[in-house]
Chains A and B, each alone.
Chain A
């Protein structure tokens, strides 16, 4: 439990920042090299590197260096703790409505 909550706190802190969120959104589409990532943001490279470090420490991105080029990619499952937490904050009525929806999807033939 504490382990999970520490992880959640770190992830939420990481994505609380609009720039870091924009980086995550960009990386969701495909991996990118650092210079390519920096282009849309009006900030110095060191600042961007700092943001990337926060994202990496939170387990949201990974990076690999090939020669002189560093490629950053989104780590699959990095946001799962947020999903997990959000899912648990649903009220019983919401859970029930979800289960009904699932039941209807399973049992309703297409086109009716």
Chain B
């Protein structure tokens, strides 16, 4: 099978207000135990390699396997950290060893009256067969089938 070489670029901004103080939100990223508690795809995923180095130049790895599904691998480098203000990473995603994407992600934490405004801005380049929304759709479909199983049970 020949691989069609192509690229897609995608930018997005995601904003959420969390009813927790900035230091609490920050700790959810900065403390390994906390990050393990929420990062990743949840119970649907069987965890694999995990590396956590929360410092500038440090590397994060999170690998996981959807039951009977593909192995996803996230590998990031922290490029900029300002405590309680921002986290910037560059990261790559792989799906069963195939390079999916390279992204720059900036996470900003801003105190607001009711807690924290969290802003996630991302710029990504998606490769070849992942150029459209292939991987999302594949995961989405898998999740859909799982939820459907639950729903029909």
Contact = CB atoms under 8 A, between A and B. Distances in A.
Contacts of A1: 144-145, 148
A112 B147 contact: no
Interface of B: 12, 14, 16, 18-21, 24-25, 28, 34, 37-42, 118, 120, 122, 136, 139-141, 143-145, 147-148, 151-152
A108 interface: yes
A99 interface: yes
B39 A96 contact: yes
Contacts of A99: 38-40, 42
B16 A88 contact: no
B28 A112 contact: no
B12 A93 contact: yes
B118 to A, nearest CB: 7
A57 interface: no
Contact of B19 (A87, A93, A94, A105): A105
A25 B24 CA distance: 39
A103 B41 contact: no
Contacts of B21: 108, 112
Contacts of B145: 1
Contact of A104 (B14, B19, B40, B140): B19
9 contacts: A80-B151, A81-B151, A88-B141, A93-B120, A100-B25, A100-B28, A107-B34, A108-B19, A108-B20
B16 to A, nearest CB: 5
A76 interface: no
Nearest to A81: B151
A89 interface: yes
A105 B16 CA distance: 13
A70 B1 CA distance: 62
A81 B148 CA distance: 9
A84 interface: yes
Contact of B151 (A84, A93, A95): A84
Contact of A101 (B18, B39, B140): B18
Contacts of B152: 4
A95 B41 contact: yes
Interface string A32-76: 000000000000000000000000000000000000000000000
A18 interface: no
